[in-house]
A and B are shown apart, each in its own frame.
Chain A
Amino acid sequence: MSTNYQLKRADFIFKDENDWEEVLKNNINRPPNELINELISSELKGRGGAGFPTGLKWKISAEEVNDVKYVICNADEGEPGTFKDREILSKVPFKVLTAIAICGHVIGAKIGFIYLRGEYFFLQTELNKAINEFEYYCREIKFDFSIKIFMGSGAYICGEETALFESMEGKRGEPRNKPPFPSAFGYMGKPTVINNVETLAHTYTIFKYGSKRFYDLGVQYSRGSKLFSVSGDTPKPGIYELELGMSLADFVDEFGDDDTKAVQVGGASGFLVPRKRFNETNIGFQGKLVGISLPTGGSMMLFNSSRSMFNVLDNYLNFFAEESCGQCTPCRVGCQQLLRGIKAVKRGEKNAQYLDKMLKLAETMQFTAKCGLGQSVANSFSSIVENFREEMIY
């Protein structure tokens, strides 16, 4: 079914940073409840990939009774094909800092952190400059809030919120059991709001302009705009801000190279959509749209007909087998089994039926793994094996 929903560009993220001082001053004088309601009515959902309603997240932490709370900006961008957060932190850092501080005001936190992945070390100098300027202004307006950068050291799993806390606490980045959830028990066991860089940038827009401006973009269940990181077989690689709800067919029309065989939506943890399904796929959060709606962190990798889907899946599984924290059985061993399994089928050491056994294993990983990494491997595994089975066998 083709949609008449056009690809709509938006332009909120990379503009209008100059008046951050005013935005900050105005919003820390508004009561927290008002700000929370603003976020809730905007229907903003997390832009890091999990899509949790941001207003609700801030509300839960605000309601926690505790003297010490934290705001953490998750800048551990590591999902393959995603590079938007780096751009936000380079181009409009003050938006992010302002958003962090406003969140602090809302929930009652005095300290904010930016967990910056080690690979983005080169951003530190400029970001620290921005933080200095920001903290100077906070002192001027007598707003008690400080921000620190915490550097990562090369671990994709530390993008998972509880693994991030463990890392900040000086330990191995092994995800924790949930419950308890970060809003109640986060960094150092204190109530913590942890949000993706882009999510925070969107809250800036909402606090500056009001929720309607954001809400008016996008579609039901997927309000607002999102940054998409486009790469792969495309003549237009780069970062694009688009309204949510677009049809993948329209997207490929715009960004494909006329030979697009498949699109990986949401990185290695996302789904591979084959050409035959472009028309029925819309990009947004799980909801009741017609056709398949996909969760997304915004990574869009295009593959044309020259690409081997076996190589693609092999690359993903290698990635997961290496980056898994290794704690829980389904992920640690499951990733290895899937990786070796597809190689064995390809080499003819196992017959094609073994693929079905592995599909079941991937499903078990989805149900039993301790964190999102293990739970998401099935997404790309199943979508690639089911849609390109012939490429797995020979």
Chain B
Amino acid sequence: MKPITELIKDLADLHGRDRHSLLPILQGVVEQEKYLSEYSMIEIARELDLPATEVFGTATFYSFLEYKKMGRYIIRICKTITCSMKGEKQILLAIEDMLKIKVGETTPDGSFSLLQTNCLGFCHKAPAMLINNDVFTELTPEKVREILSEYLNRKNEGGQNVN
């Protein structure tokens, strides 16, 4: 993993240092670090010659640009109407039970964070969730337990493809 300052510099080299380069750079930092710390935001502000508040105000607007420390795997469960109708709560309970955390929390070992999100675009295969960038659909409590076990057993990073 690159140190943050180097990461930001490389991202700026790739995307540019204009205002319209901000979002890809924020995304790049979140991709590696899973969230944007104060330090990250200040470094981005420095690199792009932007006020720190502009970076903060822009980052906090977007749901996927976390600004609080997150686990290695961020679970986002869809809570919009169809997924909600098709058993989202049961999935949530299953995860809460398995990982011993509630929505908004991160496991003490820093492996999982549990969040809710809005319509993921898989309503015909509800309920659905994201773990980082990977989508899992047609979930049941059993299926979710299987998926999480697989993640727990992982030694390395890297995602699966969409089911």
Q: A and B from one assembly? A: yes
A86 CA to B162 CA, complexed, in Å? 13
**A155 proximity list for chain B (CB < 8 A):** 61-63
Considering residues B61, B117, B135, which has the most beta carbons from chain A within 10 angstroms of its beta carbon? B61
Considering residues B21, B23, B57, B125, which has the most beta carbons from chain A within 10 angstroms of its beta carbon? B23
**A173 proximity list for chain B (CB < 8 A):** 61-62
A316's closest neighbor in chain B, by CB?
B81
**B27 proximity list for chain A (CB < 8 A):** 118, 151, 153
**A315 proximity list for chain B (CB < 8 A):** 79-81, 84
Give a binary string over B23-51; 1 marks a CB under 8 Å from any A CB, 0 the rest.
Answer: 11011000000000000000000000000
A233 CA to B119 CA, complexed, in Å? 17
Size of B's binding interface in residues, CB under 8 A: 38
Is there contact, CB below 8 Å, between B23 and A170?
yes
A233 CA to B80 CA, complexed, in Å? 15
Interface flag for B126 (CB, 8 Å):
yes
**Whole-angstrom distance from the CB of A266 to the nearest CB of chain B?**
13
Is there contact, CB below 8 Å, between A78 and B118?
yes
Known contacts A119-B121, A122-B162; A319/B63 CB under 8 A: no
Main secondary structure of the interface of B (DSSP, over half): mixed
A172 CA to B65 CA, complexed, in Å? 12
Q: Which of A59-67, A199-207, A224-232, A243-251 contacts B (4 or more CB under 8 A)?
A: A224-232
Partner of B119, one of A79, A168, A264: A79
A236's closest neighbor in chain B, by CB?
B124
Interface flag for A17 (CB, 8 Å):
no
Main secondary structure of the interface of A (DSSP, over half): mixed
A172 CA to B60 CA, complexed, in Å? 9
A361 CA to B18 CA, complexed, in Å? 42
A319 CA to B116 CA, complexed, in Å? 11
- Give the interface residue-count category, chain A: 35 or more
**Whole-angstrom distance from the CB of B14 to the nearest CB of chain A?**
13
**B84 proximity list for chain A (CB < 8 A):** 311, 315
A171 CA to B18 CA, complexed, in Å? 12
Is there contact, CB below 8 Å, between A120 and B125?
no
B162's closest neighbor in chain A, by CB?
A122
Is there contact, CB below 8 Å, between A122 and B133?
yes
Known contacts A170-B23, A319-B118; A81/B82 CB under 8 A: yes
Interface flag for B120 (CB, 8 Å):
yes
Interface flag for A83 (CB, 8 Å):
yes
B84's closest neighbor in chain A, by CB?
A315
Give a binary string over A296-333; 1 marks a CB under 8 Å from any B CB, 0 the rest.
Answer: 00010101000100011001101100110100000000
Interface flag for A237 (CB, 8 Å):
yes
**A49 proximity list for chain B (CB < 8 A):** none
**B18 proximity list for chain A (CB < 8 A):** 170
Partner of A170, one of B19, B117, B118: B19
Is there contact, CB below 8 Å, between A121 and B133?
yes
Within 72-101 of B, Cβ neighbours of A (below 8 Å) are at 79-82, 84-85
A102 CA to B155 CA, complexed, in Å? 47
A311 CA to B88 CA, complexed, in Å? 14
Partner of A83, one of B61, B124, B130, B133: B124
Is there contact, CB below 8 Å, between B85 and A307?
yes
**Given contact pairs A264-B81, A325-B61, a sample of 5 additional A-B residue pairs in the complex whose CB atoms are under 8 Å apart:** A81-B119, A156-B118, A237-B124, A268-B80, A319-B118
Closest 8 CB pairs of A and B: A154-B63, A170-B22, A237-B124, A154-B64, A153-B62, A231-B123, A121-B133, A172-B61
